[in-house]
Structure 1
Amino acid sequence: MKHQFKVAMAALAICVSSQAFAAENAPELQTETTLAQELNLSSAQVEQIKGLREQAAKELSSVKLDAIGQDVIVNMIKSGKWDEAAAKKQLQTISNVQAEARYYRAHYLFEVSKVLTAEQKAKLHEMLSGGEAMY
């Protein structure tokens, strides 16, 4: 059970952090081809954005997930004793991982915007303003 919980928590952290780069709900992170079509990007811009995506993926992979694998909540359930401080610490750790992933996504968006023309930036802004989380 202990190992299963660690695996589940690690998977949750990866899902949460990878959602920051999910293409289906984030038009600015779609494949270079789709983004190129939506924003009418030049081939040079596509190459620059591809490099930015690779850098963002590298940064995201540096997020430390070790602390999320702790069995704090499971151990409390098993023991029947609630530890307020331990629970809050564990949940804060999960929040920190999410915040770090959001930071890298926001940074990626900023870097992408520097590659775009004023018209393309306006289109990207329009795409991002569609009610979806920007980072």
Structure 2
Amino acid sequence: MRRYRGCGGSGRRRPFGSGGNGCSFADSPGSGLYRSRNGRFLGVCQGLAEYFDLPVFWVRVLTALFVLFTGLWPGVAVYFIAAFLMKLEPVVQPQSSSEREFYNSYTRSKSDAVSRVRDKFDRLDRRLRRMEDVVTSKDWQWEKRMRE
């Protein structure tokens, strides 16, 4: 059974142009283990079900049995540890390896990801300033008049 990711967690594919975000197969290479954004409680069971391609009902049943048979606190502690260790599913699935690498770096260290974005913005800002300098220079005005 193949499920689609990025389709609102329903496992159904919405046609392109129907307000969907473009679905991709969950079994594509590089799709990782994430907590689902559409799960009931922290998305751990939903994320495990999507990763292992199992019905979420059975994953929840197995989780409930695990909690009951190990005692309430050890089972709940394992669940919360899993929720803490699993990354949250991206809102929009990465389309390239560079997008996936940026998302993974963002989940590891938000300050590093923000500094990468800030550096890119600074480079674009410098480039824009250079273009403005060229366009507003007297040479540009002279060349524009000569072309007319």
TM-score after normalising by structure 2: 0.27
Q: Give the number of the structure with larger relative contact order, counting CA–CA contacts within 8 Å between residues 6 or more apart.
A: 1
Structure with more of its chain in strand, by fraction: 2
TM-score after normalising by structure 1: 0.28
Higher Cα Rg, which structure: 2
